[in-house]
A and B are shown apart, each in its own frame.
Chain A
Amino acid sequence: MLFLALSFDSVSALPERDNRQNLTETVAQGKILWEENNCIGCHTLLGEGAYFAPELGNAYHRLGGEAGIIGFIKSRPKDGIPGRRSMPQFNFSDEELQAIAEFLKYVSEINTANWPPNIQG
C-alpha cells in the first residue's frame, strides 16, 4: 500500500522532472527507433541497459549536440573496425537521424538528481 502511495505521488511529481513539455512527435518517433534497433542491447540510458557501449543519457552533451550525435551514427563503418567494438551501420534516413538526436536531447534534459557523476557517463 505504501509502495502504491509512493508510486502515485511519484507519478504526480513527474511533470516537474520528466521534461514532458519537450516530448514532441519527433522525440516519440526517436524513441521508437531507439527501441526497434535495440540500442539498449549495447548502451545504457540513464544507467539502465547493457554495459558494452557508453551511456547515452548525456550523449547530447558529450558528443556535442544533435550534429555530433548524427555525425557519429552516420560515420559507423559497415563492416565494423578490425579487432574493436563498433556500432553497426544502421543506414538511417536524415529524418530518422534527426528523430534519434532529438530523442537523446530530450532524455538529456530529464532531471536525474545530477546523475551521471561526470560527462563520461
Chain B
Amino acid sequence: MQYQSQSVAKLYFIAAIGLFVGQILFGLIIGLQYLMGDFMFPEIPFNVARMTHTNLLIVWLLFGFMGAAYYLVPEEAERELESPLLAKLMFWIFLVAGALTVLGYLLVPYSGLAQMTANSLMPTMGREFLEQPTITKIGIVVVALAFLYNIGMTILKGRKTVVNLVLLIGLAGLAVLFLFAFYNPANVVLDKFFWWWVVHLWVEGVWELILGSILAFVLIKTTGVDREVIEKWLYVIIAMTLITGIIGTGHHYYWIGTPEYWQWWGSIFSAMEPIPFFMMTVFAFNMVNKRRRNHPNKAAVLWALGTATMAFLGAGVWGFLHTLSPVNFYTHGTQITAAHGHMAFYGAYVMIVLTIISYAMPILRGRQAANSNRSQVLEMWSFWLMTVSIVFITLFLTAAGILQVYLQRFSDTAMPFMVVQDKIALFYWLRELTGVIFLIGLVVYIASFFVGNDEPEASVEPTAE
C-alpha cells in the first residue's frame, strides 16, 4: 500500500461483502416465495423481503464504490486522503443508518415505518428501490456530500488523472441525480418520469463511469500497459456511454403516459447502449493480451475480464433483447425484465466491486501484491460458481419470461397472471436451485479470505515477451 490512508477502504469492503451475503439470503427467500406463496407469511411478506434484497444490493454496491474510491484516489492523486477520519466516521454513520433501515423493514409493518419516520411531512417512500424512509434518504445525501468533499479535495490538491476525474464525475453524478428521489408528485406520470432520472441515469449512466474508471485502474495496475493507451479507451467508452445511455432513458418512456415519440428515441438510442459495453470487453481483453508483465494476482485479472464480459452480456445483450418498443410492448414488466436485471447487475456492478476488492484486499492486508496460490484458487472457484450460476438464473428466468409473455399476453386465449405463474413454476424451481449454488459460491468466496494466509504469495512466471 503506497498511502496509509488507503486503508480505510478495507472497512468499506468488509461491510460490502457482509451485506452481499444478506442480499443473497433474501434473494433465496423471495425465490422460494415465488413457489411456496405462504413461506414466512405474514411475518415477512414478499414485498418486505424483496425490498430488503434490492436495497441491500444498492447499499453494498455503494459501499464497494466508496471503498474503491478511497483505495484508488490516493494512489492516482499521489497524496494521502484529505480526511481519513471523516471517511471512517461516514462509514459508521452509513452502516448504522443502513442497518436501522433494514431492521425497520423487517420488524415494523411498512406503513408503521412510514408513520414512525413521518413520511407524511415529505412523502418519498414506497417507490421501487427508493423505499427508504425520507430520513434515511437525507442521511444518504449527507454521507454522499461528505464523501464527495473528501474525494474531491484529494483529487483537486493532487495529481489529476483521467481515471480519478472520470470516477469523480461518476460519483458526483450519482449524488446529484439521487436528489430526484425527493421529488414525488401526486401525478403518477410525472412521478415515474423523474423516478427514472435516479434509477436509469444511475445504472445506465453515471454508474458506468464508475465502472469504467475502476476497471481502467485495475488494468493499469495488473497489465502494465501504458496509462495513455488505457485512458484513451476510457474516454471513448464513457463518451459512448453518455451518448447512448442518456437518451436511452427513453426505453422507459414507452408505456407510462409519455408521448409516443419516445418509442423511436428510446428504441434507437438504447439499441446502441450495448456498444460501450462491447468496447469495454474488447478493451479489457486487449489490454490483458498486450500486458507487459504477468501480475501475480491472477484472481483480480480474472474478475476484470469477467466483469467486462458479463456486463456486455447482461446489460448489453439481455438489455437489447427487450429494448425495442414493439418487443417491449409484450415483455414490459415480466420475468424477462427480471432476467436482464439479474445478469446486468451482477456482470456490471457486483463483479467490478469484486474486481477492485480482489485487487486491493491482499495489499490492504499486508501482502506485496497478491494472495497465496491456495487462496487464489479458491477465489477463482467462487468466480466460476457465482458467474455460471447467474448465467443459469438468467436463462431460467428468460425461459419463464418467454412463456409468461406468450401465455398471458400473446396467445389468443390469454390466461390470468396467477394461472400463468403456476404453469411456469418449473423454471422458478430451477432458478431457486441455481440460487443455492450461487450461495455456495459466495461461501467459497468468503472462505478464500481465510485460507492460505500463512503461505507465501503467489509468484509470477516470467513474462511471455
Contacts and interface: CB of A to CB of B under 8 A. Distances in A.
A38 B45 CA distance: 11
B38 A46 contact: no
Contacts of B184: 35
Interface string B33-68: 110111001100111101100000000000000000
A81 interface: yes
Nearest to A7: B193
A36 B112 CA distance: 8
B288 to A, nearest CB: 35
A120 B186 contact: no
B252 to A, nearest CB: 8
Nearest to A79: B42
A54 B396 CA distance: 20
A102 interface: no
Residues of A contacting B: mostly:
loop
Interface string A16-32: 01111001000110011
Among B128, B249, B333, the one with the most A-chain Cβ atoms within 10 Å of its Cβ is B333
Interface string B95-139: 000000000000000110011000110010111100100000000
Interface residues on A, range: 35 or more
B332 A115 contact: yes
B318 interface: no
SS class of chain B's interface: helix, strand, loop or mixed?
A: helix
Contacts of B416: 54, 120
A73 to B, nearest CB: 14
A97 B134 CA distance: 25
Nearest to B422: A84
A50 B125 contact: no
B257 A110 contact: yes
Contact of B258 (A14, A117, A118): A14
A111 B256 CA distance: 8
Nearest to B336: A51
A18 B42 contact: no
Given A52-B50, A86-B37, A86-B38, A120 B255 contact: no
Given A107-B188, A117-B330, A50 B256 contact: no
Contacts of B342: none
A10 B263 CA distance: 13
Contacts of B110: 36-38, 41
Contact of B189 (A14, A27, A83): A14
A55 interface: yes
Interface of A: 2-3, 6-7, 9-11, 13-14, 17-20, 23, 27-28, 31-32, 34-42, 44-55, 78-86, 88-90, 106-107, 110-113, 115-121
Interface of B: 30, 33-34, 36-38, 41-42, 45-48, 50-51, 110-111, 114-115, 119-120, 123, 125-128, 131, 184, 186-190, 192-193, 246-247, 249-250, 252-263, 265, 329-330, 332-335, 337-338, 408-410, 414-418, 421
27 contacts: A6-B265, A11-B193, A14-B187, A27-B186, A32-B120, A34-B126, A35-B126, A36-B114, A37-B126, A38-B126, A40-B47, A46-B188, A46-B256, A46-B257, A47-B256, A52-B47, A52-B50, A54-B418, A83-B36, A85-B33, A85-B38, A86-B37, A88-B41, A110-B257, A113-B254, A113-B255, A117-B409
